Amino acid sequence: MSNLREHSKQNWRSQGCLEQINAGSLQRIADAAELIADNYQRLLDDVKRYKEYHHGNLNRINNLNHRIAGFKAVITRLKNGKKKA
């Protein structure tokens, strides 16, 4: 079968009949379509992974912001407590 693929790349006026050349061309087109589909699926998987990573980082950032706010509140209470004493 790969012989038809290679033959279809050559000069179409060669010994092969037109049907064989067309069959080889269609096989090469199918191979290219499979590569495109594989690349597209890989891109979709990458997007999904990056979205999950981004969502996890947003949760982490939100958690850290709440911790910072808590620490600031403790510092404020400690400062105000010293002033009262």
- 54-67 average pLDDT score: 94
Q: Give the three-class secondary structure for 68.
A: helix
Runs of H (alpha helix) within the chain: 2-9, 18-84
- Structural domain count, the chain: 1
Determine the pLDDT at residue 67: 97
Model confidence, pTM: 0.49
Sign of CA dihedral 7, 10, 14, 18: positive
Give me the domain span that covers residue 79: 2-84
Answer with the residue of higher pLDDT: 69 or 5: 69
CA 47 to chain CA centroid, nearest Å: 4
Q: Judging by beta carbons within 10 Å of its beta carbon (0-12, 13-18, 19+), is residue 8 exposed, middle or buried?
A: buried
When the pLDDT of each residue in the chain is averaged and rounded to a whole number, the result is 83
